[in-house]
């Protein structure tokens, strides 16, 4: 399978679609999932094309995972989380829906189940979560 330059994350990177941006560095970009399964659910993506982990190069993977670690620590602080769940899906049979490499970071609290997928969050709530994450990164 090849990379689709018109995927939604490529459009976010190109500035063609809005997002709730949390963090950006030379190699990665991070933003909130608009259908969060937990408060603070965010996505980390490489800035360069990679369909998924199966075709990403080692530099892309290293950059993404370094950002995942940094933002996981910030999410723990921002949401007073007791843990973090990391998810990453590859190809349709593996659960991938957007074909640009992305890693889900979900702050977790003991005894609190993840919300079911597919429910859009309120914009004011997402804006508040962005501010919490940005403050935790300072």
Residues involved in catalysis: 102
Tokens of 56: 């990403």
Give how far Cα 9 sits from Cα of 42, 51, 71, 78, 96, Å: 13, 11, 18, 25, 13
Q: Which alpha helices (DSSP H) does the chain contain, by range? A: 8-13, 58-78, 123-137
C-alpha triplet 6, 10, 14: angle, nearest 5°:
110
Q: How many CB atoms lie within 10 A of CB 24?
A: 13
Sign of CA dihedral 66, 114, 38, 78: negative
CA–CA gap between residue 113 and residue 116 (Å, rounded):
9
């Amino acid at each position: 399978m090849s990379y689709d330059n018109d995927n939604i994350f490529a459009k976010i990177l190109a500035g063609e679609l809005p997002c709730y941006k949390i963090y950006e560095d030379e190699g990665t970009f991070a933003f909130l999932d608009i259908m969060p399964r937990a408060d603070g659910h965010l996505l980390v993506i490489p800035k360069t094309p990679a369909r998924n982990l199966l075709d990403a190069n080692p530099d892309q993977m290293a950059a993404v995972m370094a950002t995942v670690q940094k933002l996981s620590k910030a999410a723990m602080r921002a949401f007073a989380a007791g843990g973090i769940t990391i998810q990453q899906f590859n190809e349709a049979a593996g659960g991938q829906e957007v074909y640009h490499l992305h890693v889900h970071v979900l702050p977790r609290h003991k005894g609190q189940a993840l919300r079911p997928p597919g429910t859009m969050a309120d914009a004011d709530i997402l804006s508040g979560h962005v501010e919490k994450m940005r403050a935790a990164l300072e």
